[in-house]
């Protein structure tokens, strides 16, 4: 930062526009401004980082502490494309960057990494202070509308097309997010703007989302909003591979949601898209083997009802007992072996995924084949893309933010190389 003015003199007043003020856009802005270029951030919302702030309401899970090679696997089919960006700005680098802002972090029992105060707002305030010290300019309530014929940017001031202005810049970073949580700015409006430029965009789909099933009225009245704790969920994907995750879920009015469901959302979603429905398998007692459950079930029941017997012998919670009744025929309860099998592998049929605006994140977007290795659009030189608008997805647990930070940084470095080559 000390040689900022000198750097800007050397940059020949090159000007960069960042469209979107989320983590990816802000990281790109920091990298580019530190190289001495003039940076302006345009965001349609009244302030930047709104989704970032909301994501931190329940505790700002910024990244994950698991080994780097394991972390890479969380990005599924996109891992080969994201690897170089995550290698250069890994979870370790991200934590070091946070510490450089004067915010300390800690590792939770699950391996997730949080700021010590668990909040996003203090981190964002310090980050914005750093950006302002780098002379980054902020333009809230400025919506990007595409390009004019002379390649200048069309920007609607105060989101009003009647006050549209043309902006000439030397490079652009598009960091517009996906289409989840639209009220926070990620509305997917950019998709058509890029398609008009013959950029192929893969359909935006919900990720880390809930799924629909038809509950009985009685079950819903008693258990809607009740958590299912200490379970294991499993699914067989469209290629026949089994996936499972231990954790918890939540009974919703429309079906089921929660952390463990989100972790399997990509497999569940694709199975529904191809097969119209998918079976989600629920192990109600992941800490007990089938044989152990059989041993408990073979004990004398005495005068206990079946439900009371199961509660006492297996410590099944009311919601687990109710779910077992909801999803099995009555005759299952008369056969201990079949009952034990149901407890270990209860089948719940899911018929749809919830709308994208309800999802935590999204899949789809700009495919990597449309981009150079430094995230510049091949068909539009000087236009770079970063963050959630790229075609990748990841489960919750800090992976989403890590990917956004890493691609934002990569796009920023790409802009620097591009501008240096055009000086």
pLDDT of residue 232: 97
Q: Are strands 171-174 and 15-19 parallel, antiparallel or unpaired?
A: parallel
- With tokens 């609607």, the residue in question is 156
Within 8 A by CB and 6+ apart from 390, the residues are: 78, 365, 366, 368, 371, 375, 407
Give me the helix-helix angle, 79-88 and 399-422, nearest 10°: 80
pLDDT of residue 2: 33
- Cα–chain-centroid distance for residue 321? 32
Structural domains of the chain, with CATH: 4-205+363-422 (3.50.50.60), 211-353 (no CATH)
User: Which of left, alpha, beta for 306 (phi over 0: left; psi -120 to 50: alpha)?
Assistant: alpha
Give me the helix-helix angle, 318-327 and 336-344, nearest 10°: 110
The pTM for the full model equals: 0.90
Q: How far apart are CA 284 and CA 170, in angstroms?
A: 57
Nearest to 150 by CA among 164, 165, 132, 168: 168
Identify the sign of the CA torsion 69, 75, 81, 84.
Answer: negative
Whether residue 122 contacts residue 20, with contact meaning beta carbons closer than 8 Å, is answered with: no
Give me the helix-helix angle, 23-34 and 121-133, nearest 10°: 30
Within 8 A by CB and 6+ apart from 59, the residues are: 114, 118
Q: How far apart are CA 97 and CA 90, in angstroms?
A: 10
Whether residue 292 contacts residue 285, with contact meaning beta carbons closer than 8 Å, is answered with: no
pLDDT of residue 162: 73
Alpha helices (runs of H) in 224-305, residue ranges in sequence order? 259-263, 265-275, 290-297
**Cα–Cα–Cα angle for 380, 82, 111, nearest 5°?**
145
Q: How many CA atoms lie within 13 A of 229 on its CB side?
A: 6
What are the structure tokens assigned to 326, written together? 């909801």
pLDDT of residue 4: 42
Q: How far apart are CA 227 and CA 28, in angstroms?
A: 39
Q: What is the DSSP string of 145-200?
A: EEE-TTSPEEEEETT-GGGEEEE--SEEEE----SSSGGGT---THHHHHHTTT--
Helix or strand run (H / E) with residue 229 = strand 227-236
Whole-number Cα distances in Å, 210 to 6, 80, 206, 388: 52, 27, 9, 19
DSSP state of 305: -
Along the 423 residues of the chain, how does pLDDT read in single tens digits?
334 443 444 455 899 999 999 999 999 999 999 999 999 999 999 999 998 888 767 788 999 999 999 999 999 999 999 999 999 999 999 999 999 999 999 999 889 999 999 999 999 999 999 999 999 999 999 999 999 999 999 999 987 767 889 999 999 999 999 998 888 878 899 999 999 999 999 999 999 999 999 999 999 999 999 999 999 999 999 999 999 999 999 999 999 999 999 999 999 999 999 999 999 999 999 999 999 999 999 988 887 788 888 888 898 999 999 999 999 998 888 899 999 999 999 999 999 999 999 999 999 999 999 999 999 999 999 999 999 999 999 998 899 999 999 999 999 999 999 999 886
Q: What is the signed CA dihedral for 44, 49, 55, 58, rounded to 10 degrees?
A: -130
pLDDT of residue 423: 67
Identify the sign of the CA torsion 66, 360, 356, 139.
Answer: negative
Q: How far apart are CA 394 and CA 265, in angstroms?
A: 10
- Number of alpha helices (DSSP H) and beta strands (DSSP E) in the chain: 16, 20
Nearest to 49 by CA among 177, 145, 179, 154: 177
pLDDT of residue 56: 67
């Amino acid at each position: 930062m000390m040689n900022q003015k000198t750097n800007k003199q050397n940059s020949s007043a090159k000007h960069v526009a960042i469209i979107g003020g989320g983590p990816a856009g802000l990281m790109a802005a920091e990298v580019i401004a530190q190289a001495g270029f003039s940076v302006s951030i345009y965001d349609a919302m009244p302030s930047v980082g709104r989704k970032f702030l909301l994501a931190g309401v329940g505790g700002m899970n910024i990244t994950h502490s698991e080994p780097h090679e394991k972390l890479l696997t969380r990005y599924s089919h996109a891992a080969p494309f994201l690897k170089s960006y995550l290698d250069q700005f890994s979870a370790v680098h991200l934590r070091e960057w946070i510490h450089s802002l004067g915010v300390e972090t800690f590792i939770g029992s699950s391996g997730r990494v949080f700021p010590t105060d668990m909040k996003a707002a203090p981190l964002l305030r310090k980050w914005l202070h750093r950006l302002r010290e780098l002379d980054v300019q902020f333009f809230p309530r400025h919506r990007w509308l595409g390009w004019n014929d002379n390649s200048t940017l069309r920007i609607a001031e105060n989101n009003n097309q009647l006050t549209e202005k043309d902006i000439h810049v030397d490079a652009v970073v598009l960091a517009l997010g996906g289409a989840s949580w639209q009220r926070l700015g990620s509305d997917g409006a950019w998709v058509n703007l890029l398609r008009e430029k013959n950029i192929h965009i893969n359909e935006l789909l919900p990720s880390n989302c809930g799924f629909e099933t038809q509950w009985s009225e009685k079950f819903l009245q008693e258990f809607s909003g009740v958590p299912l704790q200490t379970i294991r969920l499993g699914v067989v994907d469209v290629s026949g591979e089994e996936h499972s995750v231990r954790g918890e879920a939540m009974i919703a009015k429309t079906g089921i949601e929660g952390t463990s469901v989100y972790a399997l959302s990509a497999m569940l979603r694709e199975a529904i898209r191809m097969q119209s429905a998918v079976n989600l398998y629920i192990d109600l007692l992941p800490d007990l083997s089938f044989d152990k459950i059989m041993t408990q079930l073979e004990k004398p029941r005495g005068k206990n009802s079946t439900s009371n017997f199961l509660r006492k012998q297996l410590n099944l919670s009311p919601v687990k007992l109710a779910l077992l009744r909801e999803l099995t025929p009555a005759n299952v309860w008369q056969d201990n072996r079949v009952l034990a099998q149901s407890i270990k592998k209860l089948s719940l049929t899911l018929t749809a995924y919830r709308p994208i605006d309800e999802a935590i994140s999204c899949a789809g977007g700009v495919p990597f084949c449309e981009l150079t290795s430094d995230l510049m659009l091949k068909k539009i030189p000087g236009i770079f893309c970063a963050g959630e608008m790229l075609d990748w997805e990841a489960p919750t647990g800090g992976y989403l933010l890590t990917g956004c930070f890493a691609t934002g940084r990569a796009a920023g470095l790409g802009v620097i190389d591009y501008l240096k080559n055009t000086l």
